[in-house]
Structure 1
């Protein structure tokens, strides 16, 4: 039980942060692999809980999938050392390295572990898995990517992320498929510029942090919990703003990084890909609007006596961030036109 104390959790959290820094600042592929391994071994104690079987199952699944990805990554590095350099071998090695990194970050077609593991985690661990754990693989991907393979995976990420969210009742699985969809946008940003990727990643992490904190404070894990109780309308309004911002609806802050990517895609004459990305974002908005509509319109007499009011000063700060997302496009329009 001492292994799961709060002080040890903080130690593993700091190790997680430093392992990412080791991985992205290394000047050799072996150093990058070591950083990824330390990252894996520091994240597992954070998600493991001896009192919760779902957390223990999720940690075991995470260990197995990440170990397979690490073995593939190491195998590709060794091949890179010993194979003769020509067009075919360079393509083969780049595809192997890219595939192992896609598996690390939960990208299609290696995404099936991602929603299942998300289902067994707490909201704080979900936030780490959706944001921080994507930094190392994506930075390493920017060093050595196969452009045709990356464009193929990028399109499939957006498609699978949009279609996979249908008929999902779990908010964690819904957020997982939303993360896969946004991963397609991030890969397209990485293809254009690392600065654009950093901008998109910052805005995405900002909105996801608000969503995860709201669900954590309200202890909500499934869609029916949004309307089975008479949650305060003020909280529902905050959730609505952030859901629409996450979907990329134009008046909100979440549209700003997507708008930048669409502009770059159009400038490079990739009209079909930009149209496809916009269409998939509209499908994602269907899920969010379905949740919002149900929670706002559902009226239960059975729970009329029960109201969720959270008296917390941090919530005032969250509300301030929500209204920043509401006014975000006004500021972005002022600076970019």
Structure 2
């Protein structure tokens, strides 16, 4: 996909919408920022796949419904009836986030998307709704959080598509971000760490042209690239001492500080299932016999950078927290 001037303009508009929502101090400006980012993102979803236009319409309808609900809750606030506005606004933001139980639209549209477009949807476009959720400061999120963790971990065990696996993983990670919604600093750190491990995994998966898990057995790449893929899978699952472990450790520490032991138990149990399906993909890639080329078009520098980031970022960040 060539990055032409139209897409450059749309990217700028999308980022202006995201920044506008994050920095606004009134609801109408936040709504305008959400609409700008929505309308700028839709053209990126167009691919050579014949049903990508259907995905674009589905995405537009779901986001429009959520935006309408947001405006409706703002109107309820303006007329002074404050019983329902928090619940309606929370539901609107959960729909925009694609969090459980409003997660089905993500899985319906994710299959036709380009990997980097999918990365933008799963990370950058989640920041504005998360900011609004932080502003609402709602206390009614325990059911969506539990549903997201259980559904994200259990339903992914039956998936063979790489994109749907990453989609379910996003639903699971979104629940962990919603746990830390009252602490904006921890939530942003979690989002940055999750985005880092996701973009590294997507770079390798896109280079290896993997769309389904069984294609990992047939790839013809060198062992160093396969080890990188394996490490990125483990990082996404939260295996120590990789990046994914640090983000999960922050959330567990936050939960224990709040003394919500039942939530910690559910998180640890579902983490085992998440680790299981990432381990399944990793072992499919590494252990199965396959021929490999003596050359690779992928830069050794890129591979080394990804491996170094995975291995050294967690000890560095932990040592920084000890120092400061």
TM-score bucket (shorter structure): over 0.9
**Which of 5, 10, 14 matches 2:12?**
14
2:130 alignment counterpart: 138
Contact conserved, 2:148 with 2:175, CA < 8 A, in 1? yes
Shift of 1:259: 0.9
Alpha-carbon distance in 2 for matches of 1:260, 1:52:
39
- Unaligned runs of 5+ residues in structure 1 are none
1:68 counterpart = 2:68: no
Matches within 5 A, 1:50-65: 51-65=48-62
Are 1:320 and 2:305 matched, yes or no?
A: yes
Contact 2:208 2:219 in 1 (8 A): no
Alignment partner, residue 96 of structure 1: 88
2:153 counterpart residue number: 162
Residue of structure 2 equivalent to 1:329:
314
The aligned length equals 321
Structure 2 distance, partners of 1:295, 1:317, is: 19
Q: Does structure 1 conserve the Cα–Cα contact (< 8 Å) formed by 2:20 and 2:29?
A: yes
Counterpart contact for 1:98–1:145, Cα < 8 Å? no
Report the equivalent of 1:46: 44
Q: Which residue of 1 aligns with 2:200?
A: 210
Distance 1:146 1:333 in 2: 31
Moved over 2 A (4+): 306-313, 321-324, 327-337
Is 1:195 matched with 2:185? Answer: yes
In structure 1, the residue matched to 2:244 is 254
Residue deviations 1:103-137 (CA, integer Å, cap 9, x gap) = 00101111001112111101011110110010000
Would the aligned equivalents of 2:235 and 2:243 in 1 still touch at CA under 8 Å?
A: yes
TM-score (norm 1): 0.90
- What does residue 110 of structure 1 align with? 102
Q: Say what the alpha-carbon RMSD is for the aligned residues.
A: 1.8
Give the aligned partner of residue 81 of structure 1: 78
Aligned equivalent of 1:24: 22
Q: State how far apart, in whole Å, the 1-side matches of 2:13 and 2:20 are.
A: 10
Paired with 1:139 and 1:58, the residues of 2 have a C-alpha distance of 26
Determine the C-alpha separation between the residues in 1 that align with 2:34 and 2:294.
41
- Contact 1:13/1:46 (<8 A) preserved: no
1:122 aligned onto 2:102: no
Aligned with 1:31: secondary structure? helix
Equivalent position to 2:297, from 311, 314, 320: 311
Choose 103-112 or 227-236, whichever is displaced more: 227-236
User: Does structure 2 conserve the Cα–Cα contact (< 8 Å) formed by 1:116 and 1:173?
Assistant: no
- SS across alignment from 2:211: coil
Contact 1:23 1:36 in 2 (8 A): yes
Cα separation, 2, equivalents of 1:121 and 1:32: 27
Distance 2:128 2:189 in 1: 16
Give the match for residue 178 of structure 1: 169
Instruction: Give me the whole-angstrom Cα distance separating, in 2, the residues matched to 1:236 and 1:56.
Output: 34
Contact 1:107 1:183 in 2 (8 A): yes
Deviation at 1:312, TM superposition (A): 3.5
SS in 2 for 1:249: coil
Q: Which runs of 5+ in 2 are unaligned?
A: none
Report the alpha carbon displacement of residue 69 of structure 1 after superposing the two structures with TM.
1.0
